Amino acid sequence: MAGNSITRGNASQFFVAGELCRRGYSAVVTLGNTPNTDILCSNITGTKFVHIQVKTYVPGIRTCSVGKKAEIYYGDNFFWVLGGIPHPDTDKSFEYYIIPSLVMSENVCNQHRAWLSVKGKKGQRHNDSNVRGVLLPPRTSHDYWDISPYLNRWDLIEEKLI
C-alpha cells in the first residue's frame, strides 16, 4: 500500500466512513458512483444527510492536493475531509481535517488567486491549472490559510445530523 496512491485514497475513504460509523452514524462509501461525493452519511433514522469528499495525504508532507472543484461551494451539508493516512511501517498518527464546503471554497479560491498574482522563484508568472493545494500544519505562510482549527472537528458533521 505504501506506494499506491489509489489504494491509499480508497483506504482513506473507508477510514473516514469507519470513524463516522464508530460515532453512531450510517456512512456509505460511494465507490465513485456519486459525483463529488466519496461518502454519504446520515443519522441512524435516515432523516438528515451530509456529503463528504475525501482527499488523502501522507502525514508529514507539505500540502494536500484538492483540485479545482474545491473552489466550488456545494452547500451547507457538504464537507471536505483531508485524511492523513500514515504509512503502515511508521509510528505517525492518523490526521483528519474536517472542513465545511464554504470554508474550503472561499479559502482555496483566495489562496489560488494570490498564488497566481505573485511571481515564481525565477521571476516567471505562474500558469493556471486545475491543481489546487492546501498547506498542511505545522507549516504556515501569509499566503495560505491555517487549517489547524479543523483538526478532528467531527462535531461540524455531527451538528448537521442531529
What CATH number should be reported for the domain holding residue 34? 3.40.1350.10
Domain encompassing residue 127: 5-161
Number of domains in the chain: 1
Mean pLDDT of 127-152: 85
Task: Identify the weakest region by mean pLDDT among 81-90, 100-109, 112-121, 138-147.
Answer: 138-147
Supply the pTM of this predicted model: 0.91
d(CA 104, CA 109): 8
**pLDDT(121) > 50:** yes
Phi, psi of 111 (to 5 degrees): -65, -40
Count CA atoms closer than 13 A to 111's CA, side-chain side. 25
